[in-house]
Structure formats: structure tokens, C-alpha cells
Amino acid sequence: MKSTFLSRSELIGFAILALIIFIALPMALDSFRLNLFGKYLTYAFVAVGLVLCWGAGGILSLGQGVFFGLGGYCMAMFLKLEASTPENTSIQSTPGIPDFMDWNQLTELPIWWQPFHSLAFSLFAVVAVPVFFAFIIGVAMFKRRVGGVYFAIITQAFAAILTILIIGQQGYTGGVNGITDLRTLLGWDIRTDEAKEVLYFVNGALLFVVLFIAQFVRKSKLGRLLIAMRDQEDRVRFSGYDVAGFKIFIFCLGAAFAGIGGAMFTLQVGFMSPTLVGIVPSIEMVIFCAVGGRLSILGAVYGALLVNWAKTSFSESFPELWLLGLGGLFIAVVMLFPNGLAGIWSQHIEPRLKALFAPRGAPKSASQSTPAE
């Protein structure tokens, strides 16, 4: 029976990615590098969300860092509270509160920090807080049919606002340093190598859950509607669909993915700071998606891995070349490869592979024109 959820080439694509993430990378890399790749994979969550919003829905958000940051901060607040037991912080003037609060002369935990004592609440907040903000932004913007570049600029303004807010409110947020010195998750030390390996696999598994959700959305009626909205918004509206509702949903879904990515970032890297929230990281997340291919959810994962890997290796050896390279990448992707790696794959490599392996004289398969996913 032919599955409508995954075509054969898509199934192969998922299987190859699973092989790379769960077998090839852990075998090839030492624990430090594996942790780095785990960090890159957290950006893939954002990139997959952007494929849905931007590639499929035509909504370019330059504020995904906001949701990534909100998710990450929710996780970091829980871990920070766990690390700031009265015993650990006995040298402070007020033991039991996070160190940066003590440095800023706060004498008790702010009320909105209180619920983050509970892991269940924090995990809920990791998804709920980004979705809540995305929902407000989405309702305000899409109901009024604001889209395109205006949406991009306003989401970018949100990235700026949140960064200024976090840096300005040092006593509550840890300021420019962010929330650092995170130690344990329910007593389990997350700083050891074994813990990092376990987290890497948890991260990979979550990424696949997200990928399957994204694939499900794309194959569903909603996915078709999104593409229709991107190409001919008015026609969809005249057909009786609530365009704004679909846009809000997909924007919230992207925000939820980004929030999960942020939380996994905090767990694996061990801190969260405003440098991951602002304008620059937000727009870099768009380039991960663009390099991988804005139409392909698997491409987005490869894009996030590749760009970040390039960033790390370039900035280790030629720091001044990296910005030139990244800038050139932005321009090249837009001018030469608008569909990114996935576009190159589906247009140039896959047809040749098919021609190579297809039995001679066989009719061309109908699925040839579908992009490699």
C-alpha cells in the first residue's frame, strides 16, 4: 500500500537523516564535538518551523530568536532555581535566590519566577510561553492582513525589544550575561559527558518528533492551503477559508518548535543569554533555513548543521573571513539558489541518480518532479 504520509523518496530521506544523527555523528565525533552538533541541531528546530512559516506559508518572521529565547529562558529559570539551593548560595546576603538577583540587591524571588520551581510547569512553559506570544502577535497582525515585509520588520522589532528588556532588567533576567552556571536537572548532573550524550539523543529524538509533525502538516489539507495562501492569498480567502486563522496556527507552531529548540539549547550548552535572542541570531536562523532549502524540512536540518559547522570551523581559523563568507552566503543563496541545498538535490542530483539506477528503457517515474524531502 502506498503511504500518503511519506513517499518512498521521503522515507529514504528521513532514514538517511536518522542514520546521520543517531549513528554516524555519535560514532565519528568525540563528546565535545558531539555536544557542538547537538547545539547546531537545536537551531534545526527553528529552521523547520521557518520552513512551515516562510517556505510553505510565505510568512517571513525575523523574530524566531524571540521564541527560541523564551523557550530557552523558561528552561534556564528552572535549572537556575534548582542550582540556587540555600546550601549552594549560602555566601549570598539572601541565600536561596539566583546569584545575579543577589548581586542586584534583590532580596526575594520575583513572583513570576516562583512557578519555575516545578519541572512540569517549566516544560509546559517552554512551549506555552512562545506560543502565547506568537498567538498575540499573530492575531494582531494577520487579522489585519499585515504580511510580507511589514510582518518581517515588526517581528524584528520584537527581537530588539526583548533583547533590550532582558539586558536592561538585570536583576530579573541576568542581564547581558544571561542565566549561567546551570548544574543539575532533578539532581542529574547535566555537565558530565554522559549526560551530554544522553541529551544529544533526546534532542535528536525530539527533532524527529518535530519533523514528523511538520511532515504531517505539510501533507495535510492545511499544508496545501498554506501553499495556496502563499501563492494566491485572495483566492483562498474568496473560497471561504479563514486565512488569518491558518497563518496564526502555523506561526504558533513555528514558535513552539523554536521554544523546544531553545530549551534543548539551554540543557546542552548550559546557559541562556540575550545574544541568542536578538536581531542577529534571529536573521541567522532564517539563513539556516534558506541554505537548506526553504521548501524542505529535511533540508532545513542540513542547512542548520552545515552553516553552523562552517561558522565554527571558519571562526576558529579565519575569524575575519567568516562574516564575509556568511554575507556572501546570504547573497548567493538568494541570487543563485533560491531553493537551497534541497533545490540543488532535487534539480540536479536526484534526476541523475534516478537515471543511473533506473532500469534501461523504463518509463520515467511520476514522482521525479517532487522535491526531495
Partner 1 sequence: MFADYSMSELGAIFAMQGFAGLILFSVFVLMALGLAIIFGQMGVINMAHGEFMILGAYVTYIMSNIFADYMPALFGMYFFVAMIFAFLASGALGLFVEWALIRHLYKRPLDTLLATWGLSLILQQIYRSVFGAREVGVSIPDWMMGSLPLTDMIEVPINGIFVMILAVTISFGVWIMMYRSKWGKQVRAINQNRVMADAVGINTAWTDRLTFGIGCGVAGVAGSAFTMIGSTGPTAGQLYIVDTFLVVVFGGAGSLLGTIASAFSISQAQSIMEFFLSGSMAKVLTLLTVVGILMIRPQGLFTLKLRK
Cell numbers given for 27: 560514532
Q: How far is the CB of 293 from partner 1 (least distance, A)?
A: 14
DSSP letters along 296-313, please?
-HHHHHHHHHHHHHHHHH
Partnered with residue 184 across adjacent β-strands are 189
DSSP letters along 176-221, please?
GG-B----EETTEETTSHHHHHHHHHHHHHHHHHHHHHHHHHHHSH
Cell numbers given for 305: 548543521
Q: How far is the CB of 337 from partner 1 (least distance, A)?
A: 11
Closest C-alpha to 94, from 187, 171, 12, 188: 171
The smaller minimum CB distance to partner 1, of residues 185 and 306, is found at 306
The smaller minimum CB distance to partner 1, of residues 167 and 225, is found at 167
Q: How far is the CB of 165 from partner 1 (least distance, A)?
A: 5
Partnered with residue 179 across adjacent β-strands are 272
Q: How far is the CB of 129 from partner 1 (least distance, A)?
A: 17
Q: What is the DSSP letter of 263?
A: H
Q: How far is the CB of 131 from partner 1 (least distance, A)?
A: 18
The smaller minimum CB distance to partner 1, of residues 35 and 61, is found at 61
Burial of 182 (0-12, 13-18, 19+ CB in 10 A): buried
The smaller minimum CB distance to partner 1, of residues 19 and 321, is found at 321
The smaller minimum CB distance to partner 1, of residues 171 and 351, is found at 171
User: Rounded distance, CA 130 to CA 125, Å?
Assistant: 8
The smaller minimum CB distance to partner 1, of residues 23 and 324, is found at 324
DSSP letters along 88-123, please?
TTTTSSSTTS-HHHHHTT--S--GGGGGGG-HHHHH
Residue 232 carries which side chain, given as an amino acid letter?
Q
The smaller minimum CB distance to partner 1, of residues 130 and 204, is found at 130
Distance of CA 352 to the CA centre of its chain: 32
Q: How far is CA 135 from CA 64, 158, 253, 335, 356, in A?
A: 13, 14, 10, 33, 48
Within the chain, what is the greatest distance between any pair of CA atoms?
A: 82
Q: How far is the CB of 62 from partner 1 (least distance, A)?
A: 8
User: Rounded distance, CA 76 to CA 181, Å?
Assistant: 10
The smaller minimum CB distance to partner 1, of residues 34 and 166, is found at 166
Q: How far is the CB of 46 from partner 1 (least distance, A)?
A: 16
Q: How far is the CB of 160 from partner 1 (least distance, A)?
A: 4
| Residues 6+ positions from 249 with CB-CB distance below 8 Å | 222
User: Rounded distance, CA 222 to CA 137, Å?
Assistant: 21
Which residue ranges make up the site for partner 1 (CB under 8 A)?
54, 60, 62, 140-141, 144-146, 148-150, 152-154, 156-158, 160-161, 164-165, 167-169, 279-280, 283, 286-287, 290, 320, 323-324, 326-331, 333-335, 338
Q: How far is the CB of 31 from partner 1 (least distance, A)?
A: 32
The smaller minimum CB distance to partner 1, of residues 263 and 300, is found at 300
